[in-house]
Amino acid sequence: MCGIVGILGREAIAFDLVEGLKRLEYRGYDSAGVAVLEGGEITRVRAEGKLKNLEAKLREAPLSGRAGIGHTRWATHGKPTENNAHPHATERLAVVHNGIIENFRELREELQAEGRVFASETDTEVVAHLVTALMDKQMSAEEAVAAALPRLHGAFALGFVFRGEDNLLIGARRGAPLAVGHGDGEMYLGSDALALAPFTDTITYLEDGDWVVLNRASARYFNEKNQPVKRKAQKTQAGAFLVDKGNHRHFMAKEIHEQPEVIGRTLAHYIDMGTGEVRLPFGLPFDWAKVGRLSISACGTAYLAGQIGKYWFERLARLPVEIDIASEFRYREAPMTPGDVMLVISQSGETADTLAALRYAKDQKQHVMSVVNVPTSTIARESHVVAGTLAGPEIGVASTKAFTCQLTVLACLAIAAGRARGVLSGRREKELVTQLIAIPGLVAEALKHEAPIEALARELSKATDVLYLGRGTSFPLAMEGALKLKEISYIHAEGYAAGELKHGPIALIDETMPVIVMAPRDPWFEKTVSNVQEVAARGGAIVLIGPEGVGREVAVDTLAEIAMPEMAPDFSAFVYAIPAQLIAYHTAVVMGKDVDQPRNLAKSVTVE
């Protein structure tokens, strides 16, 4: 989801901005720009395409300003044109933005009604006009940003410069990351430490909801309630490594917390934010309307993402789906009707069993589409169509952000199939897309519940067995929660369909057995509640993950309750994945396990 760099320097900084942006190229982008204060006035230079186009423009007309912001944009709202490129500006300020402003339509209408004229199709421009409108009411830049932030919905990071303020840079983060770099009489802002590696190794990471006011000598931090807060600077390894852990102890923790950003980035690749419709960024060699059956094959967490996708394809597109673990599928000799579609899912794109499933499907004359995170991988190269996940490098062996990005792509594909098959009306598609656009913000909300999960982890670390239960898409999610827990804490865990409990596993339940129940408010909520009561009646130690106040509704004694934000039921899997990941992570940390490299496991399984 784009890249941000801001600099308060001692000499001309335009090329330094570009240098920082080059470190963020791996995130993907299709236009770039800078805004620099030249004699107190904001001068913008923007270009379509790669950074070399921006550099060429800067060489033609060099800028001498010492304060500025730069941005690489991955188009979300509006095409990747120069006009839509960041920074966006008014007569008072310029702003760069990562992420999605969910309520941009309402804000734009409100600001247009005041007579403010918009020059781009982006959601970002509402931020520029909103802060300007507040400054027009005699607020200072700092007061205006403080007043504007609570009005913005969604997951985002922002960087501002202001006309006539050569020693002021303001940054803000909610959901998407942002870091401050401390130089010698210089100050920096970057969407990750990598962007700042050419200038400094002393970094302060903003916490979620923070915003910061920078000048060349100091940084003042505020939390989301606008209270002044202290944030520690630390030395970073970003200069030495391609990816670093940021201010997290483990890559897994960093990757869990990156999810609002990478889900947003992946969504932006598949959704036209302007029209609220799914727009696949590639052509298809088949017509969804003529597909008789979709086959899905993958391993581990990718397979469980496929299981969730099956619910979506069947419900939203009425498309029959058959799903197999790739190591079984490759030898099952499944008959397949030529011209149908095989979807393989893989983070690494190198998993041997998944690759074998792909090759079998090709032999069976299937159209092969892959959902992969590594675009240069073997699976990507051998597929007819590649639907990329934009999770960025995933280092932790336990897959987290790749999983939710796989869900993002699967949800968009299911909606596209539903539209093509005449199952979804335009109105329903827009409703679903609106729900998807809200996901990064809801995931950011869910990430705030880390403290009760840390306390729960201390209890779970004493268990030898754990049961996860769920219905609907929460069933595969229960299996994913169990897989995460066993692979990094080595506690034996199983995920079951809640309705299957009484057909066997209920025999295991006693007071030593934690039972973690995924209970989103979906059409099966009441039935899940009945299953919780069955567990309670047998003395099981219940952990309820559900909407705020779910414990009162269920009325049973619990070991813990983890409150999730209220949301429409269709895509609850994204949000409920977060506590499952955090439970596994904190339990493994409490137990002193090697979280990022658990015993016996490899990140990429290239053998059978």
Helices (H), 4-44: 14-22
| Minimum CB–partner distance for residue 513 and ligand M6R (Å) | 23
| Minimum CB–partner distance for residue 607 and ligand M6R (Å) | 11
Active-site choice (50, 362, 430, 603): 603
Amino acid identity of residue 2, one-letter, is C
Chain positions 239 to 258 lying near ligand M6R, rule: CB under 6 A, are: none
Output 124 or 301, the one with its CB closest to ligand M6R: 301
**285/362 Cα distance (integer angstroms):** 14
| Minimum CB–partner distance for residue 601 and ligand M6R (Å) | 6
Output 561 or 596, the one with its CB closest to ligand M6R: 596
Active-site choice (2, 299, 405, 412): 2
63 binds ligand M6R (CB under 6 A): no
Output 273 or 358, the one with its CB closest to ligand M6R: 358
Chain positions 537 to 596 lying near ligand M6R, rule: CB under 6 A, are: none
Output 232 or 599, the one with its CB closest to ligand M6R: 599
413 binds ligand M6R (CB under 6 A): no
**Collapsing DSSP states into helix, strand and coil, what is residue 247?**
coil
Chain positions 451 to 490 lying near ligand M6R, rule: CB under 6 A, are: 487
Output 93 or 397, the one with its CB closest to ligand M6R: 397
Q: Closest CB to ligand M6R belongs to which residue?
A: 300
**449/468 Cα distance (integer angstroms):** 19
Strands of 294-298's sheet in order across:
321-325, 294-298, 341-346, 367-372, 385-388
**72, 204, 399, 404: which one binds ligand M6R (CB under 6 A):** 399
Q: Which of these segments, 131-139, 196-204, 345-353, 529-537, binds ligand M6R (CB under 6 A)? A: 345-353
Chain positions 157 to 186 lying near ligand M6R, rule: CB under 6 A, are: none
Output 280 or 325, the one with its CB closest to ligand M6R: 325
Alpha-carbon distance values, 103 to 133, 143, 144, 154, 401 (Å): 17, 21, 18, 8, 25
Burial label, 323 (beta-carbon count in 10 A; 0-12, 13-18, 19+): buried
Binding mask 5-44 for ligand M6R (x = CB under 6 A): ----------------------------------------
Residue 277: how many CB atoms within 10 A of its CB?
15
CA 593 to chain CA centroid, nearest Å: 26
Q: Which of these segments, 252-260, 397-405, 443-451, 553-561, binds ligand M6R (CB under 6 A)? A: 397-405
| Minimum CB–partner distance for residue 325 and ligand M6R (Å) | 10
- Listed in sequence order, the residues at least 6 apart from 394 whose beta carbon sits closer than 8 Å to its beta carbon are 255, 347, 373, 400, 401, 402, 603
List the one residue out of 28, 68, 77, 35 whose CA is nearest residue 51. Answer: 28
398 binds ligand M6R (CB under 6 A): yes
605 binds ligand M6R (CB under 6 A): yes
Output 243 or 302, the one with its CB closest to ligand M6R: 302
Contact 369, 384 (CB under 8 A): yes
**348, 389, 489, 558: which one binds ligand M6R (CB under 6 A):** 348
**354, 404, 474, 489: which one binds ligand M6R (CB under 6 A):** 354
SS3 letters across 356-370: HHHHHHHHCCCEEEE
Strands (E), 411-502: 465-470, 492-497
Amino acid identity of residue 297, one-letter, is S
Buried b / exposed e over 169-186, threshold 16 CB at 10 Å, is bbbbbbbbbbbbbbbeeb
| Minimum CB–partner distance for residue 396 and ligand M6R (Å) | 8
**401/260 Cα distance (integer angstroms):** 9
| Minimum CB–partner distance for residue 299 and ligand M6R (Å) | 4
Output 189 or 379, the one with its CB closest to ligand M6R: 379
Q: Does the active-site annotation cover 2?
A: yes
Contact 542, 536 (CB under 8 A): yes
- Which residue reads 């729960």 in tokens? 456
**298/355 Cα distance (integer angstroms):** 9
356 binds ligand M6R (CB under 6 A): no
Amino acid identity of residue 355, one-letter, is L
**24, 212, 243, 397: which one binds ligand M6R (CB under 6 A):** 397
Contact 511, 537 (CB under 8 A): no
Output 195 or 305, the one with its CB closest to ligand M6R: 305
Q: Which of these segments, 152-160, 504-512, 558-566, 599-607, binds ligand M6R (CB under 6 A)? A: 599-607
Sign of CA dihedral 182, 185, 187, 192: negative
Provide the Cα torsion 527, 530, 535, 538; round to 10°: -150
| Minimum CB–partner distance for residue 376 and ligand M6R (Å) | 14
Chain positions 501 to 540 lying near ligand M6R, rule: CB under 6 A, are: none
**351, 473, 558, 572: which one binds ligand M6R (CB under 6 A):** 351
SS3 letters across 540-598: CEEEEEEECCHHHHHCCCCCEEEEECCCCCCCHHHHHHHHHHHHHHHHHHHCCCCCCCC
**59/167 Cα distance (integer angstroms):** 25
Contact 54, 32 (CB under 8 A): yes
Q: Which of these segments, 45-53, 127-135, 327-335, 346-354, binds ligand M6R (CB under 6 A)? A: 346-354
Alpha-carbon distance values, 231 to 222, 391, 561 (Å): 9, 27, 30
Binding-site residue total for ligand M6R (CB under 6 A)?
16
Binding mask 299-328 for ligand M6R (x = CB under 6 A): xxxx--------------------------
Output 38 or 382, the one with its CB closest to ligand M6R: 382
Output 6 or 300, the one with its CB closest to ligand M6R: 300
Chain positions 274 to 303 lying near ligand M6R, rule: CB under 6 A, are: 299-302
Residue 209: how many CB atoms within 10 A of its CB?
17
Q: Can you give the binding site for ligand M6R, defined by CB under 6 A?
A: 299-302, 346-348, 351, 354, 397-399, 487, 601, 604-605
Positions annotated as catalytic residues are 2, 603
